[in-house]
Amino acid sequence: MATVSAGALKPNGNFNPPPSQFRSVISSESDSEFPAEPERYVLYIHYGCPWAHRANVVYRLNRLQPLIAFSAVSIHRDPDIGWTLNGTSGSDSIDPFYDFKYFRQLYEKAAPDYKGPYSVPVLWDRKRRRSGEILRMLSTSFDAFLEPQYREANKPVGGLLPDHLRGEIDDLNTWVQSNVSYGTYKCGMAKIQEDYDNAMTRLYESLDRLEKNLDGRKYSFGDHTTEADVRLYTTMVRYDIAYATIFNCNWKIIRYDYPNLHKWLRQLYWEVDDEAKGAFKGTTHFDTVSLAPNHHLVIPARLPMLLILKFMEGYANAAAGQKLVPWGSKVPIMPWDE
């Protein structure tokens, strides 16, 4: 769950998180201010946050583990201090490089006077203490250090961002971000019926458009995954289990009402194609039982297993007036049975 506050929802129902203050770029050029170098950078994520999840997918799609260090913060978020590192929910017990216990300390190391959200993902430069635009830097900047078969230029049709599709992918990404990724939050954080109705109308018009776009297509732009699929995936894989239950995006759900989107989602999650191996299912953590944020709950003995989704509490905190943490769906994603 990203660091999102109700203040990001404007009175007119628009959801506008504040822009990042750190927007430097890592480049493959040797004279760059932030050159691509092995073992120089660290990717920080939160397993529940869909925006951090995108970065983790590309990190693993491009086999960057030997080149870029990795650290995860806990699902636990102090309302005053922010995300913690305490060894729970797959997080590090302490920052692996600076011994920090709170994620905000990383921001304060980069800018002691920083005032703003302490959000993930962050791509941290251990030499110069900066973060920046992450997804595309992970896609291509480190190609020179990878085995040839993993380089973007050598992947089918040009990898995640083929030159001949760049404009269309950029347009779709911008539209998805505003209408779908943020659209779910606009529904969940609405405080009056009119804002909720407007947000729901726009969200489901957008889902209908995505469903139609996938008619006769395997992925958003054909037979291979692109950056557009990565960006949309991290919202869609949370839809039925979190957004439908917590954010009241429940007029229609993916598994029953959108057959094209449902097939597309399962193809990615179950990593049907070799090019997706280890990047989608392997980075989706809703199958982890985590009672830490709800330690007061008693699991009924008659239940074989209670799936407390590790990111559910964060969504409940973000939702307007949400007091309970729903269990979510018993089956978080349907099997691949095509």
Residues known to be catalytic: 49
Print burial letters for 224-233: b (CB count within 10 Å at least 16), e (below 16). Answer: bbbbbbbbbb
Q: What single-letter amino acid sits at 95? A: D
Q: Are 249 and 202 in contact (CB under 8 A)?
A: no
Burial of 78 (0-12, 13-18, 19+ CB in 10 A): exposed
Q: Are 304 and 281 in contact (CB under 8 A)?
A: no
Mapped to the 3 state alphabet, what secondary structure does 33-73 carry? CCECCCCCEEEEEECCCHHHHHHHHHHHHCCCCCCCEEEEE
